[in-house]
Structure formats: C-alpha cells, structure tokens
Amino acid sequence: MKVFMGAAAAALAVIVVVFGLIATLIVNSDGEAEAATDGGGGLQGVPPEFRTWILQADAECKEPGLTPALLAAQLAQESGFRTTARSTVGAQGPAQFMPGTWATWGRDADGNGQTSPWDIGDAVMAQGRMMCSLLRQAKASGYPGDVRALALAGYNAGWGAVERFRGVPPKSFAAGQTYHYVQLILASMSKYQGPGLLQVSGSGSGPDALRKAATRTGVPYAWGGGGPAGPSTGFCDGTNGYLGGRCSASSTVGFDCSSLVQYAYWPATKLPRTAAAQYGATSDRPVARGDLKPGDLLFWSRGGSGAIYHVALYAGDGNVLHAPRTGRKVELAPLTSAMPQQDYYGATRP
C-alpha cells in the first residue's frame, strides 16, 4: 500500500492501513519438491494461487535483492494475500496499487484479456517489475543502508520521499508508516524463506530452459494443460485427466509433461506439443545416458518411438524435473524412479 505516489507528492503524509502483519532442489517428506529460482531462495507459507506468480516475478528480475521471500512478505504486509483488499486512500488489490501507479506498471500477465490490479498474476508481476526498478534506483543512488529497505520505502511512499531523506524516511515522517512498513517486511521475510532449490549453473539453451522450468516447481499437473504462455486448465479424454472418479484436469491450472518442456524452451526453441512429437523433432540428436547435461530431454515409452508417453528435463546429479501425472505437481525426482525404469527409452538434446 502506498503512503503516497510519485515525487510530486513526496511531501504529503497519508496514513496507511496495515493488513498483515540458489536454487538447490530438495524433496520434502511427502515426496513433493519445494520451489525457488536461481538468485532467489526458497518459498514457503504462501497461498498456492500466489506461489507461481511470485516465483515468476522473481525469475524475471535480475536484481539479486529481489527474492521470493521478499515479494511474499511485502504482499502479506500490503494485503494479507487478499485479492479484494482496498485501502482508504484508493490502493487496490493484493499488491495495493494506486490507479496512477498501476497505469505505469500494470500488464495483462495472466492473459485473461484484462489488465487488473485485482488479478493475482497481473498484480504480482507488476509488483515484481516495480520493485526490480526500485532496486536498481536504490543501488544507483548511493544512499546508505540496505537497497531492499530503500526500494520498499520507494514502493510505499514514492521514490521522491527516499530522495528527500536520502534514505528510508524516519519515524517522524507520515507517523512512522513507511519506516515501520520497511522494518516489518524485512523482519518477516524469514517466515516465507523456504529451502533453496535447483541450482542451475552455466549458460546456453539447456540450462536456460531448466532454469525457466524450475520456476514452475510446485505447479499442479493438468492433462492437456499448459503451453508456451504458462500453465492453463487441461481436459479429460476418457482415460487421462481423472482423479477420484472426476475430471480433475478441466478445473486444474497447470502443466502436463510435454507442455512443461515446451514452455521451458519457448521461444528460443519452439518444440511441438506432445512428448512423442518432441522426440521426433529432436531424435537426430541423441544423448547417451552417461553424457546427459542439464536441459536434455528424457523419454519413456511402452513400445518404440510411437508409444512414448512421458518426457522430462534432465536436472543434473541423476535427477529430472518433470510434471509426473494427475494429482502430482511439477517436481524434482531421481531419474531411476521418475518413471518405470524398464520404460526408459532415451534422451535427446534440443
């Protein structure tokens, strides 16, 4: 929530309402992977509908000061993760954007045809873009103190207030609202800091694809769902997509195995949609099991190339990152147990 917005309003004191008080892959006791992104850290304790967007917002910012835990703590402070939050001064949605500021940072991130501060995806991605910009300003300013504190103060009170005080505004400013906003968020970050996840080193199409896919760890499996733009609802075909006797895919926003791979490599490499087609498009570049590198594609089949039913990304250290099946989530798993060993068909390099 903004105390005020913009340098022109930097001298105004508006009271805010407080709503609430690199990547290494680990698997928890339920066999599900916790998620994080390179340069950030783990994430825990956030509503599932916010998790994917927080990780994506972090992944799209190259500033090391921005982490999933920082974004989560800020959202908790702004709105308590409430999508209907509205302040007395007109701030809107989970990231509490004022209309004027939303006009600058808002985009249709979730692809639903609307750019709205009430939409989780739009709001969190805009929050991430604004914080990323503020972190760059903070770093370039030379002002003393933690660049994260400076950026948070700029988000809450406008960068003009930071310039006015050449740092985080003191307790005497705006009845201490900005000062306490910054302190509370930094102090509560540890609550949302989960274990670190999949550390991907190196550059090139394979590591880049693996890094991108890792930001979707924890996203549900949806048969027929997902694509280059991200997760989406799937469908049932009479055999696949069912859970507990009902069609789960049609109401689940997620990926299936091949859409995750397609998303990971897009747009640098535009792989086809299904696992079998992805094998066909890359089979001229086979990779022996002993020569696997991060980002290589691994395939499982029940009888030749025409019966390929699963694809995964090699994640290094004998692990794969994949969307396994209905009822599960995108996760890290050992290559030896990700799918039946006897079904392993081979690997390729896109």
Q: Could you give the CA distance from residue 86 to residue 122 in angstroms, rounded to a whole number?
A: 16
The total of other beta-carbon atoms located within 10 Å of residue 284's CB is 7
The residue with tokens 């924890």 is: 218
- The answer to whether 63 is a known catalytic residue is no
Q: Could you tell me where the beta strands, DSSP code E, fall in 184-307? A: 232-233, 242-243, 246-247, 253-254, 286-287, 297-301
Q: Could you give the CA distance from residue 239 to residue 247 in angstroms, rounded to a whole number?
A: 10
The total of other beta-carbon atoms located within 10 Å of residue 11's CB is 11
Q: What is the CA radius of gyration of the chain?
A: 22
Q: Could you give the CA distance from residue 257 to residue 275 in angstroms, rounded to a whole number?
A: 7
Q: Could you give the CA distance from residue 266 to residue 82 in angstroms, rounded to a whole number?
A: 32
Quote the DSSP letter at residue 291: G
The total of other beta-carbon atoms located within 10 Å of residue 342's CB is 7
Three-point CA angle 156, 157, 163, nearest 5°? 125
User: Residue 29 in contact with residue 43, Cβ under 8 Å?
Assistant: no
Q: Cis bond leading into 267, ω under 30°?
A: yes
Catalytic pick among 34, 63, 78, 331: 78
Residue among 148, 146, 99 nearest 126 (CA): 99
The residue with tokens 């799937």 is: 234
Q: Could you give the CA distance from residue 32 to residue 321 in angstroms, rounded to a whole number?
A: 12
Catalytic site positions: 78
